[in-house]
């Protein structure tokens, strides 16, 4: 029985069990799982588990950061999970399917700000309620404050998603934020440009007809509205990830800090306006033409189709293809059946969330369901969709079916929109005939909403099961560390020394593995920073662990994710267990070849037993000559 078997058993249990492990490898500090279903892993439990530093997701891997003793933990995990010495070769992620990958991507982009989005949704709902009750007047300062606060995250959605999508695609976070901000710049939106005269029209007299109001670098740009959108910014950030990788390969490191973001932002934003915008516009026009033809064929069939697909259309921002048709109907015949057909969708979504509230085991998701339900009542369903139903998949499908069922009732009663008014419970009055004061349409929508809600609630309660398991943490005993003496660490690598907080990898930057510094190497050679012993030399030679004669434990990690190079461009001159003297050559590496392969060569130098010292003096923001770290007992 291994020393870390208890820890290994709890790790295996909290990554979803051994049946959920597709493959397992490890580097110098972390276990790198490829899981069949990452939703089955309990990040909260793992993050709070004694013996685990943190949990990270990167490059399709579920990474559990352990520390220097990860090889020993790895052996026990392999034994507990019954993986043997080799791991499975099949990659579940490759066969996951486009739809599931897309849902996982969208959910991942929204997860970090679901709480704030729910709060803003409630703000929008309460503002509508207070206006209806006459507590303050429309257009008043209070109304403006409530509207600005509630609309903020929705209006500037591309800015927020620009940040979270950048994390998903490994783009610099503020680069992603700037790209999102550029997309929502007010005067470049279609709503602003259409106030002027077009300079030309593309695809005249076709369903793809598109007026052009501006040129960028001499090229015609088809206008589009990016505010409140989701998919366009995700596509642009995805494109930006490739631009950034290319820029990092060709731009010298000394100027990468500003030139990589410069070219990434410039090229990617242009790509958004020149390619993504027109594609969205063309799809919108095609859908609009398709729904027009469907309406001419059968209004009832069109009603069911709109009800069923309304929420997916909203996710992709393609519901705008129907709004112009609705406005045209209101202006020409005084009523519209298209938006009326979509009315039950928000109620179906809200009912599903209510059912999920009663069945969810995860306390955090259960708490999220409450504000999502409240905002859903007022027609704001984004918190429900992105936080609850879409990540779980089946509840989202149930809400789509429930919306379609409600739209059948809408068609049966012949309910129509007569004004473009409120959403959710404040949308019922939109169906009162303003010419005759006939309320039959409103009554029909009451019935449609009720049917959609009852259907969605009952089906969710009967056919959806929350498979997540909430686990408790047991105490894990760790071997006590020995007190060490004062130690001076000289620079093991020549180059520019920076604060560890500037490291790209979160586990290093946040000091989770210990205190230290970051070196940007100017020479591809690692030498011994003190007299001691080589305690760990990873097979790929990208990382080496040392312990000084006085007991200081040091990790030197060459590059970011360079474990993936499998030892290429690295050469070791020592082996595990060797005694070393200060200045001995330990490892050499080809920093230029590593950078050309698309990997950062930044090198964290970490004192992994930092807690054994009262103070560690870090000499950063300088060139690496002389003392690098001083550990005081």
Across 489-505, b (16+ Cβ under 10 Å) vs e yields: bbbbbbbbbbebeebeb
**4-81 — its CATH code?**
3.30.1360.60
Asked if 404 contacts 306 with a C-beta cutoff of 8 angstroms, the reply is no
Written as six digits, the tokens of 322 are 């129907």
Asked if 191 contacts 225 with a C-beta cutoff of 8 angstroms, the reply is yes
Distance in angstroms (rounded) separating the CA atoms of residues 285 and 291? 10
pLDDT at 452: 96
pLDDT at 531: 92
Distance in angstroms (rounded) separating the CA atoms of residues 199 and 220? 9
Residue from 367, 365, 366, 372 nearest 350 by CA? 372
Query: Is 27 marked active-site?
Result: yes
Residue from 524, 529, 553 nearest 541 by CA? 524
pLDDT at 281: 73
Instruction: Count CB-CB contacts under 10 A for residue 119.
Output: 16
Asked if 393 contacts 107 with a C-beta cutoff of 8 angstroms, the reply is no
Angle at 555 between CA 57 and CA 608, to 5 degrees: 80
pLDDT at 248: 85
Distance in angstroms (rounded) separating the CA atoms of residues 13 and 8? 9
Written as six digits, the tokens of 124 are 């929008």
E strands, 72-218, in order? 200-202, 210-216
Non-local (6+) Cβ contacts of 404 within 8 A are: 304, 307, 308
pLDDT at 602: 93
Can you say whether the dihedral through the CA atoms of 350, 100, 164, 277 is positive or negative? negative
Instruction: Count CB-CB contacts under 10 A for residue 90.
Output: 11
DSSP β-bridge partners for residue 627: 490
pLDDT at 589: 94
DSSP β-bridge partners for residue 202: 210
Distance in angstroms (rounded) separating the CA atoms of residues 121 and 415? 27
What's the pLDDT tens digit per position in 313-322? 877 766 766 7
CA distances to 12, 266, 565 from 247, in Å? 39, 12, 20
Non-local (6+) Cβ contacts of 566 within 8 A are: 540
Instruction: Count CB-CB contacts under 10 A for residue 452.
Output: 32
CA distances to 157, 402, 418, 626 from 547, in Å? 49, 63, 78, 19
Question: Considering 27, 49, 377, 558, which one is annotated as catalytic?
Answer: 27
Distance in angstroms (rounded) separating the CA atoms of residues 503 and 510? 9
What's the pLDDT tens digit per position in 325-362? 676 677 667 888 888 999 999 999 999 999 999 988 77
Residues of the chain falling short of pLDDT 70: 1-2, 28, 58-59, 68, 84-104, 107, 317-318, 320-321, 323-325, 327-328, 331-332, 467-486, 620-626, 632-633
pLDDT at 184: 92
pLDDT at 621: 56
Exposed, middle or buried: residue 256 (CB in 10 Å: 0-12, 13-18, 19+)?
middle
Question: Has domain 487-632 been given CATH number 3.40.190.10?
Answer: no
Q: Determine phi and psi for 519, rounding to 5 degrees.
A: -115, 130
pLDDT at 86: 37
Q: Domain ranges in the chain?
A: 4-81, 487-632
pLDDT at 616: 80
CA 100 vs. chain centroid, Å, equals 14
Distance in angstroms (rounded) separating the CA atoms of residues 337 and 30? 57
Distance in angstroms (rounded) separating the CA atoms of residues 284 and 318? 6
Q: Please report where in the chains the tokens 């330990």 appear, as a residue.
A: 586
Distance in angstroms (rounded) separating the CA atoms of residues 48 and 265? 37
Asked if 543 contacts 555 with a C-beta cutoff of 8 angstroms, the reply is yes
Can you say whether the dihedral through the CA atoms of 585, 590, 591, 595 is positive or negative? negative
pLDDT at 327: 65
Angle at 414 between CA 408 and CA 417, to 5 degrees: 105
Written as six digits, the tokens of 383 are 């918190």
CA 315 vs. chain centroid, Å, equals 15
């Amino acid at each position: 029985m291994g020393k870390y078997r208890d820890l290994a058993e709890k790790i295996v249990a909290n990554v979803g069990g051994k049946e959920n492990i597709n493959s397992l490898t490890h580097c110098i500090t972390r276990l790198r799982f490829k899981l069949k279903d990452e939703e089955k892993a309990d990040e909260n439990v793992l993050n709070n588990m004694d013996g685990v530093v943190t949990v990270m997701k990167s490059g399709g891997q579920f990474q559990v950061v352990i520390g220097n003793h990860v090889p020993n933990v790895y052996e026990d995990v392999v034994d507990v999970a019954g993986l043997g010495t080799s791991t499975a070769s099949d990659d579940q992620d490759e066969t996951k399917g486009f739809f599931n990958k897309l849902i996982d991507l969208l959910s991942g982009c929204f997860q970090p700000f679901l709480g704030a989005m729910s709060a803003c949704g409630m703000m929008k709902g309460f503002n509508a309620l207070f206006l209806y009750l006459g507590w303050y007047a429309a257009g008043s300062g209070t109304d403006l404050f409530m509207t600005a606060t509630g609309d903020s995250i929705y209006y500037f959605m591309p800015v927020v998603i620009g940040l979270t999508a950048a994390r998903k695609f490994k783009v610099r976070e503020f680069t992603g934020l700037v790209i999102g901000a550029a997309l929502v710049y007010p005067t470049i939106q279609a709503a602003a440009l259409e106030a002027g005269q077009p300079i030309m029209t593309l695809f005249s007299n076709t369903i793809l007809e598109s007026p052009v109001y501006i040129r960028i670098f001499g090229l015609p740009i088809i206008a589009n509205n990016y505010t409140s959108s989701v998919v366009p910014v995700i596509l642009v950030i995805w494109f930006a990830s490739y631009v950034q990788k290319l820029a990092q390969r060709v731009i010298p490191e000394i100027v990468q800090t500003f030139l990589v973001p410069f070219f990434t932002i410039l090229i990617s934003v242009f790509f958004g306006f020149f390619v993504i915008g027109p594609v969205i516009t063309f799809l919108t026009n095609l859908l609009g033409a398709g729904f027009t033809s469907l309406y001419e064929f059968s209004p009832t069939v069109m009603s069911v189709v709109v009800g069923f697909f309304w929420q997916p259309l909203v996710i992709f921002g393609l519901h705008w293809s129907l709004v112009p048709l609705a406005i045209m109907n209101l202006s020409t015949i005084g009523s519209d059946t298209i938006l009326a057909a979509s009315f039950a969708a928000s109620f179906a979504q809200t009912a599903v969330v209510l059912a999920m509230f009663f069945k969810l085991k995860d306390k955090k998701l259960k708490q999220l369901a409450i504000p999502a339900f409240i905002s859903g009542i007022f027609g704001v369903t984004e918190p429900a969709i992105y936080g609850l139903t879409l990540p779980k998949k089946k509840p989202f499908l149930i809400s789509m079916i429930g919306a379609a069922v409600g739209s059948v009732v809408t068609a049966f009663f012949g309910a129509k929109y007569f004004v473009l008014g409120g959403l959710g419970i404040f949308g019922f009055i939109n169906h009162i005939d303003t010419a005759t004061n006939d309320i039959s349409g409103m009554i029909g929508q009451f019935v449609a909403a009720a049917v959609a809600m009852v259907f969605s609630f009952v089906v969710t309660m009967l056919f959806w099961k929350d498979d997540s398991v909430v686990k408790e943490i047991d105490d894990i005993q760790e071997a006590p560390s020995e007190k060490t003496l004062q130690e001076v660490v000289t620079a093991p690598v020549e180059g520019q020394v920076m604060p560890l907080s500037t490291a790209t990898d979160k586990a290093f930057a946040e000091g989770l593995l210990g205190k230290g510094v970051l070196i940007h190497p100017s020479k591809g050679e690692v030498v011994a920073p003190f007299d001691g012993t080589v305690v760990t030399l990873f097979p790929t030679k990208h990382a080496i662990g040392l312990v000084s004669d006085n007991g200081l434990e040091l990790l030197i990690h060459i590059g970011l994710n360079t474990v993936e190079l499998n030892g290429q461009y690295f050469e070791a001159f020592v082996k595990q267990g060797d005694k070393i003297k200060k200045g001995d050559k330990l490892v050499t590496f080809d920093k230029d070849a590593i950078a050309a392969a698309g990997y950062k060569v930044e090198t964290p130098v970490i004192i992994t037993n930092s807690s054994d010292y009262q103070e560690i003096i870090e000499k950063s923001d300088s060139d690496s000559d002389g003392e690098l770290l001083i550990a005081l007992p």
